[in-house]
Structure 1
């Protein structure tokens, strides 16, 4: 079976993890700060805050921005449920903005129309969470301009997009947002096994996220309410969670960073090759954001004939091609339907779902494997 995604682990990665296992620190040691600095330096942000998953990073990001009970957060329907759930964790209401049919990202035109209506109704979101779907940047400058106009904070969900760029900026530089979140799950661009990280240029947000990931506990005298009782002393100054990243995870991530650009180059070459190989088949290849370079976490095709969707998907799986579908529109999930969302709310997202298939793409994929994917896909479409 050719999987839709696969981690790429080298001997150097293994050695880095083993070195930590032989060291004095398995948690709260030097590897996590080093990894945070490496990511921040790479993307061009001032601060990085590493945590145990991108879900945790999304949670502390929106919480650090003050999202809470009675507030409203908007995100995309075409994403993993975590992009929406982070708002619910804070007690906020969650709504969605439909996608651009070509790039699968939040549509700035739909956002503009929805914001105008929300302002008239007196119910604007406090935070919006645009998703860099498949590793491709949103039209970030347009979304940021709308956010400034209406006084809204932005968290970029770049779980798919470490190594991507928009214009002159790396995704994660926070040139168009308050906070950006990355994922290091095994099928992502680089991995820490499980893990996530939030970047920001705001020292107050960085400090607050650092507190929230570790129970809200500090040993920093500057953050305490009174003078320390002694060298053992700490204070809980906020209500936080245990979202810390381990030293082993950080060491793996640091080692993987050495090959990040190599991974991105290979993924882009594979995506370009897919564009060419699939050009004559009855399907649509992914569109691309102008002025951006995708990290190509996923390559999603859309079938011309939606009636063949399940048949083609099952044929591919049965013949050794590990396809997947990213994603079921979040607003159609039972939990969100119980909150008042319904089928028909976001037609572009639902149309996408009726035709989309994620076909294999990973940095270690060979041309021979890619040819096999295209061959089996051609067979499936011809039946």
Structure 2
């Protein structure tokens, strides 16, 4: 069975974890800082703050910005639940932005439309998602957010290694050139894996200091105090990432260029193989400015035209050894958010959801695996 995503763990990764297990520190030790330093250098940010998972990274970002109850955070509806939930964790309200129906990305236009639904409330943050690994239009989104008095926080777990180019400006996801912070996840299906794990990058010294404090219960150790003394000026959380997992992260990060190259090669093979299935099957639109390392290979399928439901296609593909997934169910349609905010009409998100199906994509795949997936899809769709 080819899953839609899978980690690549090799002997040197296992050796790195074994070495960490034999070291003096299993957690809160020097490997954490080493992973943070290497990650910051990789993405081009001044600071990187490791934490327990990608959801914790988003929560810490909201806490570091001091987002207050009753204030508003804008998130796209096509994303994982955590993008919106992080606002609710701190008592803020969520305004859902629509997305481009062919890319799944929040756009300056859909953000501007979401601003019309603030109803006089203060907007604190906008959370564009680099969906699939393709990058949102950060300079334009930042301009729209700034005009409304808000900052951007990039939700970037899909996009480690992805790049953007606007004119002569070459940027990397996570360098925070147009955002206050960017958050990452190291879940096993992501570009690099630590099992569970997350990271927040920023160029703001004050935000970095607060992120580090808040991930460790809000504790500080004042200079000049007794060796055992600590204080808690504000309450925080236990969101630390242990040295064992940081050792795996360091080993995986050293392979990022190889993983990225393989994902790009597989994506190019998919593009060529899927082309004959158009217009019944098309790939998600890639913006001109985006040079992605794709986390997801999303096919947009006209299921009614094929005469098959998505469930029928998913089950038929599984019978042929091809695993798939749906990314994502629009968050604004979840029962919790429908009860809180009522029914919303976001046609781009609905159009994306009705057609999307994520096909297998991970570095361990062979070229022939792509051919098998596309051949199976063509057969299932009667093409």
Which bin holds the TM-score, normalised by the shorter protein?
A: over 0.9
Structure 1 residue 305, shift from structure 2 partner: 2.9
Aligned to 2:267: 271
Aligned to 1:181: 183
Aligned to 1:100: 100
CA contact 1:332–1:341 (8 Å) conserved in 2: no
CA contact 2:45–2:203 (8 Å) conserved in 1: yes
Q: How do 1:102-251 residues align onto structure 2 when only pairs under 5 Å count?
A: 102-115=102-115, 117-118=116-117, 121-167=119-165, 168-221=170-223, 228=225, 230-251=226-247
Summarize deviations over 1:90-131 as a string: whole Å, max 9, x none.
Answer: 00111210001222111211112332x257x42342111110
CA contact 1:65–1:153 (8 Å) conserved in 2: no
Structure 1 residue 290, shift from structure 2 partner: 1.3
Give the whole-Å Cα distance in 1 for the aligned partners of 2:327 and 2:37: 31
Structure 2: stretches of 5+ with no match in the other structure = none
SS in 1 for 2:34: helix
Aligned to 1:224: none
Give the whole-Å Cα distance in 2 for the aligned partners of 1:198 and 1:220: 24
Structure 1 residue 166, shift from structure 2 partner: 1.1
Please tell me the root mean square deviation across aligned C-alpha atoms, in Å.
1.3
TM-score where L is the length of structure 2: 0.95
Give the whole-Å Cα distance in 1 for the aligned partners of 2:40 and 2:345: 38
Summarize deviations over 1:212-269 as a string: whole Å, max 9, x none.
Answer: 1000011143xxxxx62x1111111111000000101100000011110111111111
**Residues 1:380 and 2:368 aligned together:** no
CA contact 2:123–2:148 (8 Å) conserved in 1: no
CA 1:355/1:38 → structure 2, altered by over 3 Å: closer, same or farther?
same
Q: How do 1:1-383 residues align onto structure 2 when only pairs under 5 Å count?
A: 1-115=1-115, 117-118=116-117, 121-167=119-165, 168-221=170-223, 228=225, 230-281=226-277, 282-306=280-304, 308=308, 309-342=310-343, 344-382=344-382
Give the whole-Å Cα distance in 2 for the aligned partners of 1:64 and 1:260: 28
TM-score where L is the length of structure 1: 0.95
Summarize deviations over 1:168-222 as a string: whole Å, max 9, x none.
Answer: 111000011000001000000001110000000000000111111000011143x
Q: Which consecutive segments of 4 or more residues in structure 1 shift more than 6 A?
A: none
SS in 2 for 1:351: helix
CA contact 1:266–1:363 (8 Å) conserved in 2: yes
Give the whole-Å Cα distance in 2 for the aligned partners of 1:269 and 1:341: 43
Count of aligned pairs: 374
Structure 1 residue 310, shift from structure 2 partner: 2.2
Structure 1: stretches of 5+ with no match in the other structure = 222-226
Summarize deviations over 1:260-289 as a string: whole Å, max 9, x none.
Answer: 011111111111111110111121111112
Give the whole-Å Cα distance in 2 for the aligned partners of 1:192 and 1:238: 29
Structure 1 residue 141, shift from structure 2 partner: 1.1
